[in-house]
Amino acid sequence: ELDDVRLAIIGVPENRNDINFIGEDYQLGEIRKTLYTLFPGNWHTGIADLGNINKGETVEDTYFALRTTLSILMEKKIIPIIIGGSQDLTYANYRSYDTFKPMVNIVNVDCKFDLGDVSKPIKNDSFMGKIILEKPYNLFNYTTLGYQTYFNSQEEIDLMEKLYFEAYRLGEVSSDITSVEPMVRDANIVTIDMSSIKGSEVSNKQRFSPNGLDGKEICAITRYAGLSNKVSSFGIYEYKQSKDDELTSILIAQMIWYFIEGVNSRISDDDFTDENSFQKFTVLVEDEELLFYKSNKTGRWWIEIPFLSEVNNKLKRHTLLPCMHQDYVDACNNIIPERWYKAHRKNSV
């Protein structure tokens, strides 16, 4: 039945692990209704709406149902679009890779890191801590886009640095939205917390902070996620249903539209076995020889990370790190790109 399907929409109205849960239920119909009023682009991929995975007897039952469903879809090369409840569902999404993906990269668009207190039961503000610390250890890289410093403890900020994870402040992301493209290009999972959106862009019930990403910026990020050849699952979480104001459901529908648009515009440009498809540049910085690759098809850039096979044999797909042209320019000016440094350090420990 799903032979011609490339994208599958799944609603998961599970919110019992929200730290502010007070017993409320909500529907996702408004998002779907709005999405289906939008005109499709010049799309060639089949899209299926698989309905909702309703709340199980326990939250763990919901996790199990979601994890199983996502595994089946991804093994069929179908990209799930998850419309969520609380963002701890990302944990089930991550675990759905256990059977077929040895190392996973997660990009979280969020004002918080969600590391939380892992000694306590999983919640929507601590699921990343569980992902990092629980076996099997399949997480290779974790990137947070749009974090706001005053919502994160210094301990969490220090931990992100210590683990060589990547974190980009709201100001950095907003000042140049194109800078997030290489991070998203390297992700397997992209998870979005709606609290990362500026309060004026969403309905009253959804408002979290006066500062945040605007509608144009979040739609650019979701389009980049769609364009990435590696992104194989995509989720939007923390939707708060509001009877008096449809602004949030309209924005989420447009975010999904841009993700689908991106998937339909994917170009396979990461085959570096064909020497005619890329240019290679060597730059000497301090004592390091940095190798850059530029795709002739798309103009996108990568930088090579020395492959330490004896350290971690799961890393074969991670020897080339997406980067920007600016990283090459910086290297020519004797500046080592920070992303290369962190990836190299992580590869060495």
Q: pLDDT tens digits, residue range 214-238? A: 999 999 999 999 999 999 999 999 9
Of 349 and 28, the structure prediction assigns the larger pLDDT to 28
Give 43-71 pLDDT, tens digit per residue: 999 999 999 999 999 999 999 999 999 99
Where does the pLDDT of residue 313 fall: very low under 50, low under 70, confident under 90, or very high at 90 and above?
low
Mean pLDDT score across all residues of the chain: 93
In 3D, which of 143, 150, 197, 145 has the Cα closest to residue 176? Answer: 145
Q: Which amino acid is at 143?
A: T
pLDDT at 318 exceeding the cut of 50 = no
Q: What is the pLDDT of residue 316?
A: 55
Tell me the C-alpha distance between 213 and 170, whole Å. Answer: 7
Q: Residue 141: what are its φ and ψ, rounded to 5°?
A: -140, 145
pLDDT at 317 exceeding the cut of 90 = no
**Sheet arrangement for strand 320-323:** 278-285, 288-295, 301-304, 320-323
CA 319 to chain centre: 20
Tell me the C-alpha distance between 121 and 56, whole Å. Answer: 18
pTM higher than 0.75: yes
CA dihedral 210, 125, 31, 175 (to 10 degrees): 40
Please compute Rg for the chain using Cα positions: 20
Where do the domains of the chain lie, and which CATH numbers do they carry?
A: 5-264 (3.40.800.10), 275-348 (no CATH)
Where does the pLDDT of residue 241 fall: very low under 50, low under 70, confident under 90, or very high at 90 and above?
confident
Q: Residue 347: what are its φ and ψ, rounded to 5°?
A: -70, -15
